[in-house]
Amino acid sequence: MVGIESYGAYIPRYRMNHNTIFSAVGFLGTFPAPGENAVANYDEDTISMAVAAGIDCLSGMNREKVDGLYLATTSQPYMLRQNSAIVATALDLQSGMRTADFSGSSKAGTSALLSAFDAVKGGTSSNVLVCASDCRLSKPGSSQEPLYGDGAAALLVGSDDVIVTLEGSYSVTYDFPDRWRAAGEKFEHAWEDRFIRDEGYARMIPEVISGLLKKYNLNIKDFAKIAYPGIYVREHGAIARRLGAEPGQIQDILLDKIGDTGSASPLMMLAAAIEGAKPGDKILVASFGNGSDALFFQVTEKINKLADRRGVKKNLASKKELSSYEKYLAFRNLAPMDLGMRGEESIRSPMSTLFRERQSILSLCGSRCKRCGTPQYPVQRICVNPDCGAVDEMESYRFSDKKGVLFTYTGDNLAASIDPPAIYGFVDFEGGGRFWFDLTDCDLDSIKVGMPVEMTFRRRYIDEACGVHGYSWKATPIRA
């Protein structure tokens, strides 16, 4: 029985009210609907959010059994370097696995999910982690700016302890030129909204859902939840009425809470539907982008045994308003800021060193003494325990999923930072180990010694001359 074994999600801490956008660029004629968007921090992107969603999904799971990772996105940092391989390394998954990037359309999330089901059904993989993440760049003042939000979702596909089974699917494909971005372009282009809404969205969503119902001899009333992207709120409701669905069956599209998250949107709505589901519920999920995929799921009894996830609900509740439009532009590098002389220091990424030290830098793996059990970071040959001192008796030890407390910290106004002051400090890990990390998603007046923290994978820099996005781990206050 093939299905979903676990789910996870990630929504950035920052939210920007549409009125903040309007107050800055409303003179251009942009009149956004009420609501707010999830906005990635300056050190977040598609890869970092995918890792965060993956961590949530794999909480309490055996990572050793994951033998595949698919990443779906339309905003990948790398055109040539597999983004999914970076995510897999950051999650400290085994090297003997299959990775793949899915891109080119906002339905890439459901395409990756269907491919994962095919891989498990066919026996080429046993457990595939599907991450869908988008952090799309919009022109200031464009209609996409208040529409798009940042976020990620993750689903673990397998055949053991399945909480939701895949019962069927149906797809339609069209070369529909609604939005596009050529190679090398920074911003996407969009055709007329009326054309996208009437000829694409309003036709393809009903077509794919009706096709699924007919294929499996189902009635729309059979489903406890029906989820499909809602980039046009009025038309979204009209589609539900045409299909004969009741308002209570329609999954919240989250458009006024986080915005349209692109390829992550269908998977995030599916995760939200699973959060509130009970055994026996049927769930229908559809995507939109150059056609549509519709998937039909059924919830099993094992959903009650899955440990609590941060998921969509807790991420939605944990937020802070980004009230400065100028700060948003700085985060996106849409308004270059002068960081002073320290910010002008050139960065040269030593790729050979990065590869050799990937376990320490990307996976945050240190070592643990086999003799006395003392964890230490970075990797050491000699045990740091003064009562032990064992030499070359170490095993790999992952710190990324360990929580800790802040031992000491510093707020540095002289360090080059797009969000000053730069904050860093020493973290004492549960179970042992101490190291210093940058802190993120926090303010200087909100942290204190002894505060619980957790680790988060973030983009540390962009080496523009070499085209390198550098990543490592930071500490952050625990989001609950």
Task: Provide the strand spans (E) within 14-73.
Answer: 14-17, 36-39, 68-72
CATH code of residue 231: 3.40.47.10
State the amino acid at position 323 in one-letter form.
S
Residue among 265, 262, 243, 264 at smallest CA distance from 253? 265
CA angle 324, 145, 250 (to 5 degrees): 110
CATH code of residue 346: 2.40.50
Rounded Cα distance between 127 and 148, Å, is 31
Identify whether residues 141 and 261 lie together within a single domain: yes
The kind and range of the H/E element at 346 are none
Task: Provide the strand spans (E) within 79-221.
Answer: 98-102, 128-134, 151-158, 164-173, 179-180, 189-190
pLDDT number for residue 348: 73
H/E/C letters for each residue in 395-458?
EEEECCCCCEEEEEEEEECCCCCCCCCEEEEEEEECCCCEEEEEECCCCHHHCCCCCEEEEEEE
DSSP 8-state code for residue 381: S
336 assigned to some structural domain: no
Residue among 435, 437, 293 at smallest CA distance from 378? 435
Identify whether residues 269 and 416 lie together within a single domain: no
Task: Indicate whether 272 pLDDT > 80.
Answer: yes
375 assigned to some structural domain: no
- For the residues 17-38, what does the mean pLDDT come to? 90
Task: Indicate whether 60 pLDDT > 90.
Answer: yes
CA dihedral 46, 328, 38, 72 (to 10 degrees): -20
378 assigned to some structural domain: no
Count CB atoms within 10 A of the CB of residue 204: 23
For strand 282-286 and strand 225-227, is the pairing parallel, antiparallel, or unpaired?
Answer: parallel
Rounded Cα distance between 176 and 291, Å, is 7
Q: How confident is the model at residue 228 (pLDDT cuts 50, 70, 90)?
A: very high
The kind and range of the H/E element at 308 are none
- Give me the percent of the chain exceeding a pLDDT of 70: 99
222 assigned to some structural domain: yes
The kind and range of the H/E element at 193 are helix 193-195
Instruction: Give the predicted TM-score (pTM) of the model.
Output: 0.96
Identify whether residues 202 and 349 lie together within a single domain: no
Identify whether residues 16 and 158 lie together within a single domain: yes
437 assigned to some structural domain: yes
pLDDT number for residue 299: 98
- H-helix segments, 26-177: 46-57, 83-90, 108-122
By the 8 A CB rule, do 292 and 207 touch?
yes
By the 8 A CB rule, do 228 and 201 touch?
no
Identify whether residues 275 and 357 lie together within a single domain: no
Task: Indicate whether 464 pLDDT > 90.
Answer: no
Task: Give per-residue burial for 47-59: e unless 16+ CB within 10 Å, then b.
Answer: bbbbbbbbbbbbe
pLDDT tens sequence across 40-57: 999 999 999 999 999 999
Identify whether residues 326 and 347 lie together within a single domain: no
Q: List the structure tokens of 137.
A: 């760049």
By the 8 A CB rule, do 433 and 48 touch?
no
**DSSP string for 236-256:** HHHHHHHHT--GGGBPP--TT
pLDDT tens sequence across 89-113: 999 999 999 999 999 999 999 999 9
pLDDT number for residue 285: 98
By the 8 A CB rule, do 360 and 54 touch?
no
Q: Which of 275, 307, 331 is the last residue of a domain?
A: 331
By the 8 A CB rule, do 430 and 343 touch?
no
Q: How confident is the model at residue 337 (pLDDT cuts 50, 70, 90)?
A: confident
pLDDT tens sequence across 238-258: 999 999 999 999 999 999 999
Q: List the structure tokens of 305.
A: 């045994």
pLDDT number for residue 28: 86
Task: Indicate whether 156 pLDDT > 80.
Answer: yes
Q: Which of 306, 331, 356 is the last residue of a domain?
A: 331
pLDDT number for residue 479: 87
Identify whether residues 187 and 237 lie together within a single domain: yes
Residues whose CB falls within 8 Å of the CB of residue 9, separated by 6 or more in sequence, listed in order: 53, 56, 151, 152, 153, 154, 268, 271, 272, 309, 310, 311, 312, 315
Q: Which of 331, 354, 387 is the last residue of a domain?
A: 331
Q: List the structure tokens of 92.
A: 């400290």
Q: Which domain holds residue 40?
A: 3-331
Beta-bridge partner residues of 440: none
Task: Please state, in angstroms and as integers, the Cα–Cα distance from residue 39 to each residue in 321, 328, 440, following that order.
Answer: 9, 8, 14
Task: Indicate whether 346 pLDDT > 80.
Answer: no
154 assigned to some structural domain: yes
Q: How confident is the model at residue 327 (pLDDT cuts 50, 70, 90)?
A: very high
Task: Indicate whether 77 pLDDT > 90.
Answer: yes
- For the residues 416-433, what does the mean pLDDT come to? 94
Identify whether residues 299 and 200 lie together within a single domain: yes
Q: How confident is the model at residue 466 (pLDDT cuts 50, 70, 90)?
A: confident
- Give me the percent of the chain exceeding a pLDDT of 90: 90
Task: Please state, in angstroms and as integers, the Cα–Cα distance from residue 259 to each residue in 31, 78, 146, 296, following that order.
Answer: 15, 24, 7, 24
130 assigned to some structural domain: yes
Task: Indicate whether 340 pLDDT > 90.
Answer: no
Task: Indicate whether 349 pLDDT > 90.
Answer: no
The angle that helices 265-275 and 108-122 make with each other, rounded to 10 degrees, is: 70
205 assigned to some structural domain: yes
Q: Does residue 378 have a cis bond before it (omega within 30 degrees)?
A: yes
Task: Indicate whether 459 pLDDT > 80.
Answer: yes
Task: Report, in angstroms and rounded to the nearest whole number, the Rg of the chain calculated over CA atoms.
Answer: 23
pLDDT number for residue 378: 94
What does residue 108 show for φ and ψ, rounded to 5 degrees?
Answer: -60, -30
Task: Indicate whether 480 pLDDT > 80.
Answer: no
By the 8 A CB rule, do 170 and 211 touch?
yes
Q: How confident is the model at residue 152 (pLDDT cuts 50, 70, 90)?
A: very high
Identify whether residues 262 and 211 lie together within a single domain: yes
Q: How many domains does the chain have?
A: 2
Identify whether residues 89 and 144 lie together within a single domain: yes
Between 464 and 136, where is the model more confident? 136
Identify whether residues 199 and 91 lie together within a single domain: yes
Per 3-state DSSP, the chain is made up of helix, strand and coil in percentages (nearest 5) of: 30, 30, 45
Identify whether residues 92 and 199 lie together within a single domain: yes
